[in-house]
Structure 1
Amino acid sequence: MNGYQHFLFATNMSDACNKVIAKVRQFADVFEAKLSVVNFVEPVTMAYPGVIVVDDLETSRQQAAKEELVEFCKALNVSNTMQHVIVDTPKNGLFDLVESLGVDLVIIGRHNKMDFSWLLGSTTNAIIHAAHCDVLVLHE
């Protein structure tokens, strides 16, 4: 094994993720690995008729997430080409991205609140089960 070559930091850009940025960058530097960052925007459920309105809402949410991710990634020194915003759930959207980018390690941040979704929150748990590569969970 030659070590990890491409990391994917899955973030919701929360305070917990902000607190692990230095660790993420350090891991990528130590392994001399490429670093990509992804933020998932949960799809708007269609509770009411009006596809155009829902499409507009999803487009504006995706654009806002892209802008926020650009700012977030400045601390990681990650170029725009390595930043990804996906309108999907982490569980459903992660596998395709990991495969298409050739990622061999997914990194996620986790807050330390004990909210008995036991041990791991539902999003963290979904990512661990969706990724077909190693997953590193960093605590804040």
Structure 2
Amino acid sequence: MYNTVLIAIDTTPEAKQVLDAALNNEAAKNASFQVLHATELPGPGMSAYTGYDFNFDFEQIHTAAREKIAELIKGTAIKESDVQVKTGMAADLIVDMAKDIKADLIVVGSHGRHGIRLLLGSTANSVLHHAPCDVLAVRIKD
């Protein structure tokens, strides 16, 4: 039985498949759920290294992501207060949050298309190899 489940999702309609897989998992029926959305954007200091001027309004990006996720979790047992939106490398953020909340299951979607990515996307693959707990990779049906 799982007690704490971390659900890592994006903001696409397909993310509902990942949510459903987590929420309908019999081994997690009494678990608490935390949701993480990671925006993988260059950080403010990247312009010094790349020569490009990255001016992103992270607050606006996070607000838009929260609004989309609120729609996805509507009607589920997940509360908006259980959702975190962070900027950084998705796999690192997922693994770090799993450690922080002492998750015993991470649920992540997989879109893989070529080579090893045919089985697992790069984020899902990295999470699988670095997670401190079980990982459920949900194959996204396009």
Scaled by the length of structure 1, what TM-score is found?
A: 0.79
Q: Which residue of structure 1 lines up, in the alignment, with residue 114 of structure 2?
A: 115
Matches for 1:76-87 after TM superposition, within 5 Å: 76-87=76-87
Equivalents in 1 of 2:52, 2:113: separation in Å? 39
Amino acid of the structure 2 residue aligned with 1:36? Q
Equivalents in 2 of 1:7, 1:35: separation in Å? 5
> Which residues of structure 2 form unaligned runs of 5+?
none
Provide closer, same or farther for how the CA distance between residues 94 and 19 of structure 1 changes in structure 2, counting only shifts above 3 A.
Answer: closer
Q: CA deviation at 1:90?
A: 1.6
Q: Percent identity?
A: 23
CA-based RMSD of the aligned residues comes to 2.4
Q: Please list the CA deviations of residues 11-38 of structure 1 after superposition, one character each: whole Å capped at 9, or x if unmatched.
A: 1133432234333211168531111111
Q: Please list the CA deviations of residues 17-60 of structure 1 after superposition, one character each: whole Å capped at 9, or x if unmatched.
A: 2234333211168531111111101132534566xx73x52222
1:99 has 2:112 as partner? no
Q: CA deviation at 1:78?
A: 0.6
Scaled by the length of structure 2, what TM-score is found?
A: 0.78
Secondary structure at 1:4 match in 2: coil
Q: CA deviation at 1:121?
A: 1.3
Equivalents in 1 of 2:124, 2:100: separation in Å? 21
Matches for 1:1-140 after TM superposition, within 5 Å: 3-27=1-25, 31-45=29-43, 46-47=46-47, 48=51, 54=55, 56-111=56-111, 114-116=113-115, 117-140=117-140
Query: Does the Cα contact within 8 Å between 1:21 and 1:75 map onto a contact in 2?
Result: no
> Which residues of structure 1 form unaligned runs of 5+?
none
Equivalents in 2 of 1:30, 1:100: separation in Å? 19
Provide closer, same or farther for how the CA distance between residues 118 and 30 of structure 1 changes in structure 2, counting only shifts above 3 A.
Answer: closer
Secondary structure at 2:24 match in 1: helix
Provide closer, same or farther for how the CA distance between residues 28 and 72 of structure 1 changes in structure 2, counting only shifts above 3 A.
Answer: farther
The alignment of Structure 1 onto Structure 2 pairs a total of residues equal to 134
